[in-house]
Every structure is written in C-alpha cells, then in structure tokens.
C-alpha cells in the first residue's frame, strides 16, 4: 500500500507514546516495535459505512533539511513524529462516487488528535499537499486547496506551521 495521508506532530514525546495516546483517543489498537509503532482503527468508527482497518506506522520523523540547498525548507522539517495512514484492511474506495475513504478517515484522525493532543501538527495528503494544521493557542486551520509543503507556499501557511526551533 502506498501512503497517501500523513499527520506530523511537533512533540518531545517518543513515537510509541504518540501511538499509544492516539489509539486511546481514537479507540484504536496500538502495537509497539523497535523502530516504529503501529496504530490501527476500525474504519467504520471513522467513516460512515466504512469497513476494515485504517492506520499505519508511527515513527520518528527525520528532517531532510540538512541535505537541501541552502535556505530551502519544507513545512514538515521541524515536526518530530510522523503517522503514516492508509486503508490497511478493507476497501479503499466507497460505494458512493466521489468519496475518498482514506481522506475522510485521515481528516477524522487529525481532528481527533488536534482536540486531544496539545502539540503543533499538520495533515499532509499525497506527500506534498497541506490539508490542515493545528497550532496551540491558534486552533485548527484548513489550507486552500493546492497549498504545498514547499517553501514557496509559506505565505499560505499563515503562521500555522512550525518554522523555528
């Protein structure tokens, strides 16, 4: 399966603690591994008429910023934990035309985590599209369609992306 949805958090918590907390908030399952943890949630609890399980690995996010040309950056650079999300078991599509189970389920997971975890976080779709962000003290922000993680879209981030350490 390919990863289409991701949630990144800026936190000092280790990935296993984030996975455990996410499972508690979402009523899901948590499994701890050496280099990553697993989060799985029954899709039907996230998406009406959904079936199967949705989730994926929760791991430490390593920034690629040191390997880019000087001054170049991305929205995810300073986030420390990554949750990779996909429909792990069950259909990825929906009976209703135009519905995207993975995007809907990821949005519910992001919203639930944003309400339950007081850390900055962003929801990314298709590896480079910013969907939403949560910033303590500012709330949740939905980005205009097409906003990317790349530095040329920084003005669209409107202070909802962590840029300073």
Q: Point out which residues pair with 83 in neighbouring strands.
A: 7, 58
pLDDT at position 72, please? 86
Q: Which tokens sit at 158?
A: 């409107």
Kindly report, residue by residue over 89-130, the tens digit of the pLDDT.
Answer: 766 655 566 678 899 999 999 999 999 999 999 999 999 999
* Lowest pLDDT segment from 46-60, 82-96, 103-117, 141-155: 82-96
Say how far residue 24 (Cα) sits from the centre of its chain. Answer: 16
pLDDT at position 92, please? 61
pLDDT at position 90, please? 66
Positive or negative torsion for Cα 15, 19, 24, 26: positive
Backbone angles phi, psi at 65, to 5 degrees: -55, -40
pLDDT at position 25, please? 98
pLDDT at position 3, please? 73
* Lowest pLDDT segment from 4-13, 97-106, 140-149: 97-106
Top pLDDT among 49 and 15 is at 15
């Amino acid at each position: 399966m390919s990863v289409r949805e991701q949630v990144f958090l800026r936190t000092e918590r280790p990935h296993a603690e984030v996975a455990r907390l996410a499972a508690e908030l979402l009523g899901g399952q948590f499994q701890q591994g050496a280099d990553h943890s697993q989060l799985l949630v029954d899709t039907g609890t996230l998406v009406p008429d959904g079936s199967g399980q949705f989730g994926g690995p929760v791991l430490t996010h390593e920034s690629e910023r040191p390997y880019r040309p000087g001054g170049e950056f991305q929205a995810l650079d300073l986030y420390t934990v990554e949750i990779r999300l996909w429909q792990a078991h069950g259909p990825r599509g929906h009976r209703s035309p135009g519905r995207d189970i993975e995007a809907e389920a990821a949005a519910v997971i992001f919203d639930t985590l944003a309400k339950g975890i007081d850390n900055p976080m962003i929801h990314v779709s298709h590896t480079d599209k910013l969907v939403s962000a949560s910033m303590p003290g500012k709330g949740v922000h939905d980005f205009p369609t097409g906003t990317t993680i790349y530095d040329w879209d920084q003005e669209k981030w409107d202070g909802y992306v962590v840029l300073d350490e």
